[in-house]
Amino acid sequence: MPENDVTEGVGANGMADQELKKTPENEAVKENLLPPDETAGTAADVEAVQLPNNAKLPLPEGVTLPPNAEPFPPADVGLVKELQKKADNWMGWYNFCGWIYWFLGAASVAFSTLGASDVVEAKFRTSFALLSAICLGVIGFANPQKKAAKFIGAFRLLEPSVRAYKYGVLSKADLLIKDREAENMLNEGEFDGK
């Protein structure tokens, strides 16, 4: 194994830690970078530090890489953007369907109340009752709350998978499988009468 200035290990939190080997040059850099009584070095100290070419960036808290994790290839940036856009669209449709459901439900209650009350003239009561029936019909047949549940379920399946792929925890094949599962979740029951 070639000699380099970086050693890797697993820290107390289970994440990969890197530390510079103890050499006189590295110890001098450490001493200059973080003086004992200060929390950060000056800009000149930071610029003087030269990281080796094979140094890795630290992972976010709680993320660990399995030994066979694929690195995030730059060529797949388009795939990640496409899937993230799809997940964001699903979240938008979830919000839209949820708002439609609550709006039509509230309108139905309001129209029904107006249709049954003596506050409005008798000739308008029939119109309010009809509007209430239309709102309930849309809720019953279009079923926006069920569609909203499908969209949020698909979002909750795809979006974390995209993040896991970005950090190298999930392979590209597994990401595409999760995408297919999310699509199937949206189409579930649409054409088979369920």
Portion of the chain with pLDDT greater than 70, in percent: 58
pLDDT for res 139 = 94
Give tens-digit pLDDT for 104-123: 999 999 999 998 888 888 88
The pLDDT confidence band at residue 77, using thresholds 50, 70 and 90, is: confident
Residue 71 clears pLDDT 80, i.e. is over it = no
φ/ψ of 10, rounded to 5, equals: -110, 125
Q: What is the amino acid identity at position 58?
A: P
Residue 86 clears pLDDT 90, i.e. is over it = yes
CA atoms within 13 A on the CB side of 143: 9
Residue 7 clears pLDDT 80, i.e. is over it = no
- Enter the tokens of residue 42: 């000056």
| HEC sequence for 25-71 | HHHHHHHHHCCCCCCCCCHHHHHHCCCCCCCCCCCCCCCCCCCCCCC
Summarize the confidence of residues 63-74 as an average pLDDT.
60
Q: How far is Cα 155 from Cα 129, in angstroms, rounded to an integer? A: 37
CA 62 to chain centre: 16
Give tens-digit pLDDT for 124-140: 898 999 999 999 999 99
pTM exceeding 0.75? no
The pLDDT confidence band at residue 147, using thresholds 50, 70 and 90, is: very high
Residue 91 clears pLDDT 60, i.e. is over it = yes
pLDDT for res 170 = 86
Count of Cβ atoms closer than 10 Å to residue 102 Cβ? 14
